[in-house]
């Protein structure tokens, strides 16, 4: 190539970079009906989604304009009136928060809604539902399981704990060997649900942070740090690999990271159920929290029917399954997409033992409800926790104090949205 053509090519590229929108994909053929869909993901993922959308367009005669956006953009675009019809890969808190401000469509009355949700674990809808109305459909799921190093447990002759009482004993044995038990970020939720507690009363009117079950769970949670000195912060992948933390509770997605990050211990670890709580009747409760990303329709959308068709198609087992497969082929095992759809999950490349544990643990999953003002709960739960762990504050008193603050905010928000005062 001569210098001249090279220069010309470079100039063309600069000019094209202004006219070509690299963040926009559209289905190849044009249709009478079109919907715009915004995605918050990577470019590789978007390419796969675009291919799938082409199939959707061919089948339903609806064109799809895909656009890659940053998380904060959707909100601003909706305000400006230039928002999309459908948003996919949104975070779980968004739909309810937008819905109380009338920005998201309720899906309950959509054609075939009851059928669509049969494919999901019902608890995945908890954080997407408010006052009986569901505002989004789940795409991915995540919940904790327990990881442990088989080789270390065998060498030290330790037993994998089944209930929390076993964990107490295990911590002693581990610490005698200069090792630690790896706690989970949201241990409170697990313990709360296993103690039969709940986050809210009356559809989010009151916080139950100072209820008996909650105090019990909180005590159990903070005790691990106050009495046993478990690490408040630790890097799971590294510590698990070196063996300093040979057992930890983590999101199950970590097993994909482990497979890539620590191939040398590939056959030396396993997943199992999170420790449970023995109930009065002798049975064991293995409850855990769950969450995941979701897809929803904005109330300003121009074509409800086509948008719903798209949403339904997107979260269906078939679409999710082929998306998950293609992503894994393209990016590798660490990028495994943790589908929420149960029929799609069955098609994924989990080995038998993993699939069994995941299915069993999923049965115990419980969602955390989203209500107006629920950001205050996680915030003040953290404040209460730090106060108790760092300065040995009284648990009951601290929780009472923060519950009052939370309830004030909850009732403020209810008044703001005309949901009836407490």
Start-to-end Cα distance in the chain: 76
Whose tokens are 């009117």? That residue is 205
| By the rule CB under 8 A, 415 interacts with other proteins | no
Q: Which is nearer to other proteins, 103 or 128 (CB)?
A: 103
| By the rule CB under 8 A, 390 interacts with other proteins | yes
Tokens of 331: 């990016």
| By the rule CB under 8 A, 387 interacts with other proteins | yes
Among 41, 219, 375, 411, binds other proteins (CB under 8 A): 375
Q: CB 273 → other proteins: shortest distance, Å?
A: 27
For the packed helices 395-416 and 212-226, what is the interaxial angle rounded to 10 degrees?
130
Among 9, 12, 416, 420, binds other proteins (CB under 8 A): 416
Q: CB 369 → other proteins: shortest distance, Å?
A: 18
Residues 39 and 69 sit within 8 Å (Cβ to Cβ): yes
Q: Which is nearer to other proteins, 231 or 243 (CB)?
A: 231
Q: CB 228 → other proteins: shortest distance, Å?
A: 12
Taking the C-alpha atoms of residue 384 and residue 365, their distance in angstroms, rounded to an integer, is 25
Tokens of 368: 């955390």
Residues 35 and 56 sit within 8 Å (Cβ to Cβ): no
Q: Which of residues 181-240 bind other proteins (CB under 8 A)?
A: 229, 231-235
Q: CB 407 → other proteins: shortest distance, Å?
A: 15
| By the rule CB under 8 A, 403 interacts with other proteins | no
Q: Which is nearer to other proteins, 242 or 283 (CB)?
A: 242
Q: Which of residues 86-115 bind other proteins (CB under 8 A)?
A: 97-98, 101-103
Partners of 353 in the β-ladder:
none
- Torsional class of 61: left (φ above 0), alpha (ψ -120 to 50), beta (otherwise): left
| By the rule CB under 8 A, 79 interacts with other proteins | yes
Q: Which is nearer to other proteins, 49 or 410 (CB)?
A: 410
Among 150, 166, 379, 411, binds other proteins (CB under 8 A): 379
Residues 227 and 389 sit within 8 Å (Cβ to Cβ): no
Residues 105 and 310 sit within 8 Å (Cβ to Cβ): no
Which of 266, 230, 265, 222 lies closest to 248, judged by CA? 230
Q: CB 347 → other proteins: shortest distance, Å?
A: 38
Taking the C-alpha atoms of residue 86 and residue 102, their distance in angstroms, rounded to an integer, is 15
Q: Which is nearer to other proteins, 123 or 370 (CB)?
A: 370
Among 33, 60, 205, 386, binds other proteins (CB under 8 A): 386
H-helix or E-strand spanning residue 168? helix 164-176
Taking the C-alpha atoms of residue 315 and residue 311, their distance in angstroms, rounded to an integer, is 6
Interface with other proteins (CB under 8 A): 75, 78-79, 97-98, 101-103, 229, 231-235, 373, 375, 379, 382-383, 386-387, 390, 416
């Amino acid at each position: 190539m001569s210098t001249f053509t090279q220069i010309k090519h470079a100039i063309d590229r600069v000019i094209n970079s202004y006219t070509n929108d690299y963040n926009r994909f559209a289905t190849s053929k044009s249709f009478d009906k079109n919907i715009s869909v915004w995605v918050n993901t990577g470019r590789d993922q978007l390419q796969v989604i675009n291919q799938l959308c082409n199939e959707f367009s061919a089948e339903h005669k609806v064109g799809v304009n895909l656009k890659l956006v940053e998380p904060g953009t959707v909100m601003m675009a909706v305000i400006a009136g230039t928002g999309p019809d459908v948003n996919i890969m949104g975070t779980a808190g968004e739909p309810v928060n937008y819905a109380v401000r009338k920005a998201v469509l309720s899906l309950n009355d959509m054609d075939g809604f009851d059928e669509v949700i049969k494919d999901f674990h019902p608890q995945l809808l908890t954080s997407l539902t408010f006052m009986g109305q569901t505002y989004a459909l789940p795409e991915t799921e995540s919940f904790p399981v327990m990881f442990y190093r088989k080789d270390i447990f065998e060498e030290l002759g330790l037993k994998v704990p089944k209930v929390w009482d076993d964990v107490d004993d295990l911590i002693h044995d581990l610490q005698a060997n200069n090792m630690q038990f790896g706690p989970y970020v949201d241990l409170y939720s697990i313990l709360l649900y296993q103690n039969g507690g709940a986050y809210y009363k009356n559809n989010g009117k009151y916080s139950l942070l100072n209820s008996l079950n909650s105090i019990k769970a909180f005590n159990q949670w903070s005790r691990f740090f106050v009495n046993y000195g478990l690490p408040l912060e630790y890097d799971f992948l590294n510590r698990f690999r070196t063996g300093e933390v040979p057992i930890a509770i983590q999101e199950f997605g970590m097993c994909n990271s482990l497979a890539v990050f620590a191939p040398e211990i590939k056959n030396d670890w396993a997943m199992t159920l999170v420790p449970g709580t023995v109930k009065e009747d002798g049975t064991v409760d293995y409850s855990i929290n769950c969450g995941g990303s979701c897809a929803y329709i904005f109330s300003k959308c121009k074509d409800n029917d086509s948008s719903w068709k798209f949403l339904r198609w997107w979260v269906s087992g078939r679409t999710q399954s082929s998306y998950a497969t293609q992503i894994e082929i393209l990016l590798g095992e660490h990028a495994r997409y943790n589908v929420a759809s149960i029929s799609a999950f069955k098609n994924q490349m989990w080995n038998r033992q993993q699939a069994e544990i995941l299915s069993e643990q999923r049965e115990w999953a419980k969602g955390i409800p989203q209500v107006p003002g629920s950001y205050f709960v996680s915030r003040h739960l953290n404040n209460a926790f730090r106060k108790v762990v760092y300065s040995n504050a009284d648990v009951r008193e601290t929780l009472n104090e923060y519950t009052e603050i939370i309830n004030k905010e909850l009732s403020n928000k209810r008044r703001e949205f005309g949901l009836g005062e407490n």
